[in-house]
Chains A and B, each alone.
Chain A
Amino acid sequence: MKRYQNLLMLIAVVALVAFPLWMVEKPAPGPDGNEVEIFLGADDQAKDVIGRIAPEYKPWFKPLIEPPSAEIGSLLFALQAALGAGFIGYCLGMSVTRAKMRRESDRQAPC
């Protein structure tokens, strides 16, 4: 069980991500004929809720730089994830090798 624990957990994560994609159905276009979009960011939905609760509220500050398109935005998000994952991979590789070398030197010189 312990051996497969990590694999099972990773499969569970994939299932958790895939399940909503499969389960949530796109609602029919609204009366204005506009397609209803799904899987938008929760942050944007919160903005809509604010608009409903306090329609007179105007944001008083604008982002200094905005990604010029969704593509550039996803480029930066991918960069962020790649930097993190790259570093974790490097550390993991180093730790694995170090543990292996420790084991080998223990075997050669039992003390």
Chain B
Amino acid sequence: MHIMEGFLPVKHAIGWSAASAPFVAYGLYSLKQRIKEKPEQRMLLGVAAAFTFVLSALKMPSVTGSCSHPTGTGLGAVLFGPVAMAPIGTVVLLFQAILLAHGGLTTLGANIFSMAIVGPFAAAAVYRLAKSARLPFGLSIFLAASLGDLLTYVTTSVQLALAFPDPAGGFTASFAKFATVFAVTQIPLAVSEGLLTVVVFNALARFNLRELEEMKVVTAQEVQA
């Protein structure tokens, strides 16, 4: 989902950076407040960040014959709320942009917007919906993480289609092309991400239930149900 360095026109690069900046700034502020009030949550925050590190490093093959990677942002979005993932995702994207030439500095804003803003917001919203529909805990987490992952790649396709509309078919034709590359490839990976997130959540629910209850993510009854 990384748009490569220099592959967004200047106007788009600036626009997406401007759109992402307030989320990252507010996310940093809210994380600071949270750690100040509840220093014991530092470890779970570290787990959320580490999970994003691992999953976004795993390039997996897909049925389309190309490779892509999951994002790992759903876990933290459900635990700490979507805004918290903006700065965390930024750290991962910066690491990859600077050291790995994967993504880039000029496209950082756009990549933050898809992976660290749209994905987490989608995941948190899906989790809330699933919870209010009284779906089982594991299924809610699975839907949240995998749909957040998928929507990240849909966003990337939208971003590229906006920047490079097809000369004949315009935005729609161009979006179809980019979505074939990104979103379709991503479907099995999104399923994998959903499953892995549930595995981690099962462990958290077993060993860190007190923290989860305090953070109002789940209650003991929901986990056992």
Q: Identify the A interface with B (CB < 8 A).
A: 5-6, 9-10, 12-13, 16-17, 19-21, 23-24, 38-47, 49-50, 53-54, 57, 59-67, 73, 76-78, 80-81, 83-88, 91-92, 94-96, 98-99
The chain A residue sitting closest to B55, CB to CB, is A84
Contact at B60–A43, with CB atoms within 8 Å?
Answer: no
Contact at A88–B192, with CB atoms within 8 Å?
Answer: no
Choose one: A13, A21, A62, A86; the contact of B61 (CB below 8 Å).
A21
Pull 29 A–B residue pairs with CB atoms less than 8 Å apart, ordered by A: A5-B138, A9-B198, A12-B191, A21-B61, A41-B66, A42-B62, A42-B181, A43-B68, A46-B4, A46-B7, A47-B7, A49-B178, A53-B166, A60-B106, A63-B5, A65-B98, A73-B101, A77-B57, A77-B59, A80-B54, A80-B96, A81-B54, A84-B54, A87-B46, A87-B47, A88-B54, A91-B50, A94-B43, A99-B207
Contact at B199–A6, with CB atoms within 8 Å?
Answer: yes
Contact at A59–B53, with CB atoms within 8 Å?
Answer: no
Contact at A84–B52, with CB atoms within 8 Å?
Answer: yes
- In the bound complex, CA of A77 to CA of B197 (Å): 20
Of listed B10, B50, B55, residue having the most chain A CB within 10 A = B50
Determine chain B's interface SS by DSSP, over half rule.
helix
Contact at B208–A16, with CB atoms within 8 Å?
Answer: no
**Which residues in A have their C-beta under 8 angstroms from that of B104?**
61, 63
Determine chain A's interface SS by DSSP, over half rule.
helix
Excluding A45-B66, A57-B9, 12 further A-B contacts by CB distance (< 8 Å) are A16-B191, A17-B192, A43-B68, A46-B178, A49-B160, A53-B164, A61-B5, A66-B101, A84-B54, A88-B50, A91-B50, A95-B207
Contact at B57–A84, with CB atoms within 8 Å?
Answer: yes
Contact at A60–B53, with CB atoms within 8 Å?
Answer: no
**Which residues in A have their C-beta under 8 angstroms from that of B49?**
84
> Could you tell me which residues of chain B, from 195 to 225, have a CB within 8 Å of some CB in chain A?
195-196, 198-200, 202-204, 206-208
Contact at A92–B207, with CB atoms within 8 Å?
Answer: yes
Interface residue count on the B side (C-beta < 8 Å): 74
CB contact under 8 A between A24 and B63, given known A6-B202, A13-B196, A59-B5: yes
**Which residues in B have their C-beta under 8 angstroms from that of A73?**
100-101
CB contact under 8 A between A84 and B53, given known A6-B199, A20-B65, A45-B181: yes
Q: Identify the B interface with A (CB < 8 A).
A: 1-7, 9-10, 43-44, 46-47, 49-68, 92, 95-102, 104-106, 138, 156, 160, 164-167, 174, 177-178, 181-182, 185-186, 188-189, 191-192, 195-196, 198-200, 202-204, 206-208
**Which residues in A have their C-beta under 8 angstroms from that of B57?**
77-78, 80-81, 84
**Which residues in B have their C-beta under 8 angstroms from that of A21?**
61
**Which residues in B have their C-beta under 8 angstroms from that of A86?**
50
**Which residues in B have their C-beta under 8 angstroms from that of A38?**
65-66
